[in-house]
Structure 1
Amino acid sequence: MSTGLIAGRAPGASGQPLPPSIGWTGEVKASFRLAWPLVVAQVAQMALYTTDVIMMGWLGPKFLAAGTLATSFMSPFLLFGIGIISAVAPMMAQAIGGSDFKSVRRTTRQGFWVSVVVTAVLITVIWNAEALFLFLGQTEQNAALAEGYIRFAVWSFLPAFLFLVLRCLLSAHGKTTIILNITIIGIFVNAICNYALMFGHWGFPRLELAGAGISTTFVNSVMFLLTLGYIMTHKRYKRYAILVRLWKPDWARFKEIFRIGLPIGCTLTAETGLFAAATILMGWLGTNELAAHAIALQCASIAFMVPLGISQAATIRVGLALGKNDPEGIKKAGWVSIIMGTGFMITTCLAFWLIPTFFIGFYLDLDVPENQVSLGLAISYLAVAALFQLVDGCQVVAAGVLRGLSDTKVPMIWAIVGYWVLGLPISYYCGFVLGGGGTGIWLGLAAGLAFVSVVFVIRFAWRERLGLMNYKSIERG
């Protein structure tokens, strides 16, 4: 076991001081080059799932309802696994920053191991979803159809996690355009497979929701295999020989992935759980409120893809600087990313304030009298979402910055406090006790995210006094 302190610039392997970190302008350019394909890839990933929802709607209302029930149920489990696996990103970035290329290979291999273990656990938990749906009061028809989808779609977890490991490997090297290209290919493959298997075209059987589940697993497998093929044949990456001695354990690294990743998974689950709880609260208010909430939340979710992509780039940039023992680089990478993410959200904040009907018009026919109540509610919710955007963008990028320092456990605790001890109770109090309705619920969400945002930014600002730049690396080689 070796320990590295980042109190000052450590010398390189040759004993000479490391070159100075790039300037602020150079950091902006480097972060932008890394981030923009990840941003577009996140939007493309959302388009992939949107395709599923649209085609479920073509099957009919009962299939759309059951499919939505199934995907909503699976989503927190998938995000939990993604959080765990994403721990390989800062580990790889720190290793590359320190020119420890053997560690990159071993982290990739153990990322595969962790993917298998996490998939096995999650499949066991959600395999018999129908019984849980019935216990929660869902109809027998919806429960059966939803489980029919889940029984096939759940196998997509393994290739999705394996793809994430390779995506982290490429991102750590600054190679993100290929990720975007493969994700776009995935959208078209998914649409073609859905069309064939869900509706029985081109000689395939009509499998309906089961066909959608098979398609989901197939497209994730294709994306993983395309990425693996790229890495195995590209001269820059094939030197890692990531499949050589794949059976060989590295328990220290295996445990390190869980040590860093479990808090990330819990943080993501806590945040998605907050929005799920807010949706339940909206359902208590009525159908119009729930519809307006869904519209505002979808608008906010699309805008959120930009700071989310910047957050992923921030983890890599900060991790690289940490691996180089470069405190100045850590400072620049962190603050540039936070400013970029928050700065973008200022534009969406103004857009939601100034032209809300432009966005709502994508989801509601503004000329239909029956939609006027939902329209008015959606406008008021978007006004709150405008403020919500600023703190949401800031907190997700700040979380990515802290992950670059492998700081995940304490942020997880603060996130749970912000979302569940503050955010949800404030939503309930403002929405029901004070009579604020849906606007009050959204104010609670904004309050919880604002708290987490402030804590994360302060934590990064105080990184040295909190000892976040003193780290123990796992065994090299």
Structure 2
Amino acid sequence: MNLSQYTKEFSYNIKLAYPVILGMLGHTLIGIVDNFMVGKLGSTELAAVSLGNSFIFIALSLGIGFSTAITPLVSEANAEQNEKKIRTTFHHGLLLCTILGIVLFILTVLSKQLMYLMHQPKEVADMAAPYIDWVAFSLIPVIIYQGYKQFADGLAETKYSMYAIFMANVVHIFFNYMLIYGIWIFPKLGILGAALGTVISRIMMVVFMDLLMRHNKAFESYFKNFSFKEIRKSILEKIINLGLPSAMQMLFEVTLFTAAIWLSGSLGKNNQAANQIALILASSTFMVAMGLSVTAMIRVSHTKGMNDYKSLIVVARSIFLLAIILETFFAAIFVLFHNFLPHLFLNMNDSAQILDNTEIIIITSKLLLVAAVFQISDGIQVVVLGALRGLQDVKIPMYITFVAYWVIGFPISYYLGKYTSLQAVGIWIGLLAGLSAAALFLYIRFARLTRKLVLENYK
């Protein structure tokens, strides 16, 4: 096969992916705004929000992972031009997302006691507890929103979630500013104001998404005459069987990175600060790979619905190739500017911080060299995972990701971070090992599965 077969797919892949990428950056912006506005209140408040969000992030990863089951089912039904199947999947998926949002809210509120068992500073944990209560409540609307988003993605309508998130960000910035600092008629609530700003913006995100879709002719028929009488146990089970392994895949990766943050914290504040800076930069470029992963899921499931497995392989490989090209470009930026990028996150004019800042820059610049390589591994594993979800193959990839991150990656991170002079760099070498193992084994799984499907269907 010549290269042009893959590159001619690039423009459509980018057209589908860019709204997803911008939407994910919109999600990230909510966290950045919280950190920026709360940071002005003091270091204890910032630490409390950071600690609280680590709990929310784990719950959110489960909700997002589970909701991805809706996309391949809708996309496959769309390829079959089966409106009834599309509508049924949407209604059952939305019901399950609502139930899961409520369950995750309750579990997150109950789990906040773990902060005290983790030996976090008492004043930070005491401040984080009411923050967690409120932001945990926002899990309900945000996971309902995911139900809408994954449905729209399945119909290859990726722009609506981007519009909803941008509008939610405007609401978030307004209420955060008013409620954190007590502007105009609003009370001064500090970090609770940030929590309420998040809750209000996430409720509005669902409202915006519902209004945008309900009043669009492409979606109109799917919003009429919902009835609980239509709910079928067999369809609920089908979504759960796809959703649960996908939720666990995401959980394994998120908890690995959370463990890296806690490991870095145990090495001292400068290692933790360096880890945070490198993680922000790596996460920003990872959003591009995540957008391509959703594109892989949409396009692979759609081609599967048409039973065209030879085209499916071409489409999937075109997305893998695009991810490798883009992540290699980001890797080159990290290598070229590894000494400069850390300066963007530090106050270089504060003479009292000169020693700390110098050490943070040295550590971060080394982490960015490791991150340059793991950009590529991370990009490959997430797009291949998207393609496998499109094939509705989720159980074996769940085991692969567990082994890659927790049997290979974490032990290397722990040993090199705690017992060698590499410290934070050692932790990131462990992350690189885990992501590279995941990329390799997931690609082997995809290649074997598609080869088998081609042999079965083209005898």
Q: For the Cα contact (< 8 Å) 2:56–2:135, is it kept in 1?
A: no
- Partner Cα distance (1:197, 1:137) in 2: 30
Aligned to 1:348: 330
Mapping of residues 302-381 of structure 1, within 5 Å: 302-366=284-348, 369-370=354-355, 371-381=357-367
Aligned-pair CA distance for 1:26? 4.7
Q: For the Cα contact (< 8 Å) 1:108–1:242, is it kept in 2?
A: no
- Partner Cα distance (2:455, 2:207) in 1: 36
Aligned-pair CA distance for 1:120? 2.4
Aligned to 1:7: none
Aligned-pair CA distance for 1:224? 1.1
Instruction: Kindly indicate whether residue 185 of structure 2 is the aligned counterpart of residue 199 of structure 1.
Output: no
- Partner Cα distance (2:258, 2:38) in 1: 21
- Partner Cα distance (2:248, 2:455) in 1: 23
- Partner Cα distance (2:185, 2:456) in 1: 61
Aligned-pair CA distance for 1:90? 0.8
Residue of 406, 411, 425 corresponding to 1:420: 406
Aligned-pair CA distance for 1:135? 2.5
- Partner Cα distance (1:178, 1:361) in 2: 36
- Partner Cα distance (1:469, 1:424) in 2: 38
Aligned to 1:234: 216
Instruction: Kindly indicate whether residue 28 of structure 2 is the aligned counterpart of residue 28 of structure 1.
Output: no
- Partner Cα distance (1:40, 1:119) in 2: 24
What amino acid is aligned across from residue 56 of structure 1 in structure 2?
A: V
Residue of 106, 128, 131 corresponding to 1:146: 128
Mapping of residues 8-87 of structure 1, within 5 Å: 24-87=6-69
Aligned-pair CA distance for 1:123? 2.1
Aligned to 1:391: 377
Instruction: Kindly indicate whether residue 253 of structure 2 is the aligned counterpart of residue 271 of structure 1.
Output: yes
Q: For the Cα contact (< 8 Å) 2:6–2:317, is it kept in 1?
A: no
Instruction: Kindly indicate whether residue 421 of structure 2 is the aligned counterpart of residue 458 of structure 1.
Output: no
- Partner Cα distance (2:167, 2:454) in 1: 40
Q: CA distance change for structure 1 residues 200 and 468 in 2, over 3 Å: closer, same or farther?
A: farther
Aligned to 1:290: 272
- Partner Cα distance (1:267, 1:28) in 2: 27
Q: For the Cα contact (< 8 Å) 2:400–2:438, is it kept in 1?
A: yes
Aligned to 2:166: 184
Aligned to 1:92: 74
Q: CA distance change for structure 1 residues 246 and 232 in 2, over 3 Å: closer, same or farther?
A: farther
Q: CA distance change for structure 1 residues 357 and 208 in 2, over 3 Å: closer, same or farther?
A: same
**Matched position secondary structure for 2:138:** helix
**Matched position secondary structure for 1:99:** coil
- Partner Cα distance (2:27, 2:105) in 1: 22
Structure 2 unmatched ranges of 5 or more: none
What amino acid is aligned across from residue 438 of structure 2 in structure 1?
A: V
What amino acid is aligned across from residue 253 of structure 2 in structure 1?
A: E
- Partner Cα distance (2:219, 2:431) in 1: 43
Q: CA distance change for structure 1 residues 172 and 312 in 2, over 3 Å: closer, same or farther?
A: same
Aligned to 2:230: 248
Q: For the Cα contact (< 8 Å) 1:318–1:329, is it kept in 2?
A: no
Q: For the Cα contact (< 8 Å) 2:94–2:148, is it kept in 1?
A: no
Q: Deviations over 1:428-462 (max 9, x none)?
A: 23334443222222111101100000111111111
Q: Deviations over 1:203-261 (max 9, x none)?
A: 12222222222221211111111111122111111022355225631211111111111
Aligned-pair CA distance for 1:281? 2.2
Q: CA distance change for structure 1 residues 470 and 209 in 2, over 3 Å: closer, same or farther?
A: farther
Q: CA distance change for structure 1 residues 179 and 295 in 2, over 3 Å: closer, same or farther?
A: same
Aligned-pair CA distance for 1:467? 5.6
Q: CA distance change for structure 1 residues 458 and 243 in 2, over 3 Å: closer, same or farther?
A: farther
**Matched position secondary structure for 2:339:** helix
Q: Normalized against structure 2, the TM-score is what?
A: 0.93
Aligned to 1:6: none
**Matched position secondary structure for 1:464:** helix
Instruction: Kindly indicate whether residue 441 of structure 2 is the aligned counterpart of residue 449 of structure 1.
Output: no
Q: For the Cα contact (< 8 Å) 1:106–1:250, is it kept in 2?
A: no
Aligned to 2:141: 159
- Partner Cα distance (1:191, 1:247) in 2: 41
Give the share of equivalent positions with the same residue, in percent. 30
What amino acid is aligned across from residue 308 of structure 2 in structure 1?
A: D
**Matched position secondary structure for 1:362:** helix
Q: For the Cα contact (< 8 Å) 2:10–2:318, is it kept in 1?
A: yes
What amino acid is aligned across from residue 385 of structure 1 in structure 2?
A: A
Q: For the Cα contact (< 8 Å) 1:148–1:209, is it kept in 2?
A: no
- Partner Cα distance (1:126, 1:295) in 2: 26
Q: Deviations over 1:148-173 (max 9, x none)?
A: 11222122112111211211222222
Aligned-pair CA distance for 1:358? 3.1
Q: CA distance change for structure 1 residues 422 and 130 in 2, over 3 Å: closer, same or farther?
A: closer
Indicate the structure whose relative CO is greater, using CA pairs within 8 Å and at least 6 residues apart: 1
Instruction: Kindly indicate whether residue 97 of structure 2 is the aligned counterpart of residue 115 of structure 1.
Output: yes
- Partner Cα distance (1:294, 1:464) in 2: 39
Q: CA distance change for structure 1 residues 60 and 470 in 2, over 3 Å: closer, same or farther?
A: farther
- Partner Cα distance (2:35, 2:225) in 1: 36
Instruction: Kindly indicate whether residue 393 of structure 2 is the aligned counterpart of residue 407 of structure 1.
Output: yes
- CA RMSD across the alignment: 2.1
- Partner Cα distance (1:196, 1:464) in 2: 54
What amino acid is aligned across from residue 79 of structure 2 in structure 1?
A: G
The structure with the greater share of residues assigned to helix is 2
What amino acid is aligned across from residue 284 of structure 1 in structure 2?
A: S
Q: For the Cα contact (< 8 Å) 1:366–1:375, is it kept in 2?
A: no
Residue of 187, 204, 208 corresponding to 1:222: 204
Q: For the Cα contact (< 8 Å) 1:366–1:372, is it kept in 2?
A: no
What amino acid is aligned across from residue 43 of structure 2 in structure 1?
A: P
Residue of 239, 244, 255 corresponding to 1:257: 239
Structure 1 unmatched ranges of 5 or more: 1-21, 472-477
- Partner Cα distance (2:97, 2:254) in 1: 21
What amino acid is aligned across from residue 50 of structure 1 in structure 2?
A: I
**Count of matched residue positions in the alignment of Structure 1 and Structure 2:** 450
